[in-house]
């Protein structure tokens, strides 16, 4: 793969942890009513992905692979809340797919300009002012902040192009792109001149334009990893229309019909759905054609398969406007560029409950904490009934309630699990 183009990267991201709540009491001369005034910790910074249209590759992720957002600040006395950690914004090219590295499921398709929260920062812990009640006026406890989410993800760039140019190396794809757009790909008379995809905008008429991508030459065996095509076949995935460029000049002793069938076979092996994508066949290099029979044989072959054929010479611009017009006409009847739906479903945390939870009995409240408790509670939505039932089930399976009963808890006693309070019932 060319050193200047990176279209796949694996990175580790971790959101910031929430700041800790603080235990503090208001003691000030001439102030009659003091009491608890510990502030809450700040929320940890989140990891946010944002599309940047000035980026065209994932090169930035080749050298930096770990991203960590700042933690929230701890709370202070006088009900001063800790400062939230700043969100870390990671910029990616438009068209980047975000996959979970463990399951390979799609988490997000960064095709729109909407930001995506990849990892949420941990919630800040409550200060002791939160726990004051008429019967518990001097709470001497606060809560620690929760850890932020973390993921290992794979970023995969799939170009957002309406039309993809496919074909063997050196058939004239780059020349065609340079003629119909303002893109300036490298052009030379040898194979594999193009080492990374190039994009260009084709202007057809007032208000009518489309994006064309020149995909590096595909060879036989590309779907199994041969040549450069294996690395770049993914960039054809989103293309609504394929322009299949075939060299009909005969200069290299190639058979256009065999070339056409070979490329389609590679597309089919890579993705049967891709092989069914609409195609226009562009018979190129007609200006140096040695045997017109090669062109006619290709025409008969592709038209029998239902594909239209346009003969052209990209080098002399002959036939290029007809090709562009036909492509625009076909695109007007095709659905928009594919956007992948997220498949990822967050997994319940794998809890290591081998270490017993930390239990304290203070001021008539049973305080429950510990690392696995914090990880568990970070995945609970307490406004949702099913989520609360799952939380209850996890606590019972871990033997927490049994341990509380052994320590003498009674019905109606208050249990506080990292800030979530409820009255215990057997």
DSSP labels, 120-150: PPPPPPPPGGGG--SS--------PPPPPPE
> Residue 217: pLDDT band by 50, 70, 90 thresholds?
low
Least confident of 11-20, 212-221, 320-329: 212-221
State mean pLDDT over 12-40.
Answer: 80
> Residue 423: pLDDT band by 50, 70, 90 thresholds?
confident
Q: For 51-67, what is each residue's pLDDT tens digit?
A: 988 887 788 888 889 99
236, two tokens? 């054809």
Least confident of 40-44, 270-274, 353-357, 414-418: 353-357
Longest dimension (CA), the chain: 105
Q: For 244-299, what is each residue's pLDDT tens digit?
A: 999 888 777 788 999 899 888 888 887 788 888 899 999 998 888 878 888 899 99
The strands making up 279-284's β-sheet, listed across from edge to edge, are 198-205, 208-214, 163-166, 241-247, 279-284, 309-311
Total Cβ atoms within 10 A of residue 315: 16
Question: d(Cα 327, Cα 320) in Å, to the nearest integer?
Answer: 11
Question: d(Cα 103, Cα 397) in Å, to the nearest integer?
Answer: 27
Question: d(Cα 88, Cα 49) in Å, to the nearest integer?
Answer: 9
> Which helix (H) or strand (E) is 256 found in, with range?
helix 256-270
State mean pLDDT over 123-137.
Answer: 76
Give the pLDDT score at 186: 44
- What pTM does this model have? 0.67
Closest CA to 119 of 42, 7, 11, 21: 11
Q: Which of 31-35, 229-233, 283-287, 398-402 has the highest mean pLDDT?
A: 283-287
Backbone dihedral region of 294: left (phi > 0), alpha (psi from -120 to 50 degrees) or beta?
alpha
State mean pLDDT over 28-44.
Answer: 77
**Residue 287 DSSP class:** G
Relative to beta strand 420-423, strand 414-417 is antiparallel
Relative to beta strand 309-311, strand 279-284 is parallel
Nearest 5°: the CA angle 393, 342, 345 is 15
Residues 6+ apart with CB under 8 A from 57: 4, 5, 6, 7, 93, 157, 196
Nearest 5°: the CA angle 240, 242, 245 is 165
Residues 6+ apart with CB under 8 A from 368: 357, 358, 359, 400, 404, 415, 416, 417, 418
258 with 298: CB under 8 angstroms? no
């Amino acid at each position: 793969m060319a050193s200047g183009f990176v279209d796949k990267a694996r990175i580790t991201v971790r959101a910031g942890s929430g700041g800790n709540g603080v235990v503090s009491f208001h003691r000030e001369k001439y102030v009659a009513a003091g009491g608890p005034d510990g502030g809450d910790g700040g929320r940890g910074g989140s990891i946010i992905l944002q599309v940047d249209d000035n980026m065209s590759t994932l090169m930035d992720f080749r050298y930096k692979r770990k991203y960590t957002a700042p933690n929230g600040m701890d709370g202070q006395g006088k009900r001063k809340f800790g400062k939230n950690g700043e969100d870390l914004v990671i910029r990616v090219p438009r068209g980047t797919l975000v996959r979970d590295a463990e399951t390979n499921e799609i988490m997000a398709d960064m095709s729109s300009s909407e930001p995506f929260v990849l990892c949420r920062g941990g919630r800040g812990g409550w200060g002791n002012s939160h726990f004051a009640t008429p019967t518990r006026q001097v709470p001497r406890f606060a809560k620690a902040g929760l850890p932020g989410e973390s993921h290992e993800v794979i970023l995969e760039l799939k170009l957002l192009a309406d039309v993809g140019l496919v074909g063997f190396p050196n058939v004239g794809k780059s020349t065609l792109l340079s003629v119909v757009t303002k893109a300036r790909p490298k052009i030379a008379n040898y194979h594999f001149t193009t080492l990374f995809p190039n994009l260009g905008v084709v202007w057809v008429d007032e208000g009518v334009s489309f994006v064309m991508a020149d995909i590096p030459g595909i060879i036989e065996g590309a779907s199994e990893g041969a040549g450069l095509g294996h690395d770049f076949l993914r960039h054809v995935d989103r293309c609504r229309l394929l322009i299949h460029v075939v060299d009909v000049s005969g200069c290299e002793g190639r058979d256009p019909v065999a070339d056409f069938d070979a490329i389609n076979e590679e597309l089919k092996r890579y993705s049967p759905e891709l092989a069914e994508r609409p195609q226009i066949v562009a018979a190129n290099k007609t200006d140096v054609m040695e045997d017109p029979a090669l062109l006619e044989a290709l025409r008969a072959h592709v038209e029998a398969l239902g594909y239209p054929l346009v003969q052209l010479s990209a080098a002399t611009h002959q036939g290029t406007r007809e090709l562009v017009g036909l492509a625009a006409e076909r695109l007007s009847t095709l659905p928009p560029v594919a956007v992948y739906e997220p498949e990822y479903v967050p997994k319940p945390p794998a809890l290591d409950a081998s270490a017993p939870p930390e239990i304290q009995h203070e001021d008539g409240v049973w305080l429950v904490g510990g690392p696995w408790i914090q990880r568990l509670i970070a995945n609970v939505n307490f406004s949702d009934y099913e989520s609360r039932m799952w939380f209850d089930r996890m606590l019972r399976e871990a033997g927490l309630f049994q341990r509380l009963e052994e320590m003498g808890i009674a019905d109606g006693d208050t249990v506080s699990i990292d800030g979530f309070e409820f009255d215990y019932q057997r």
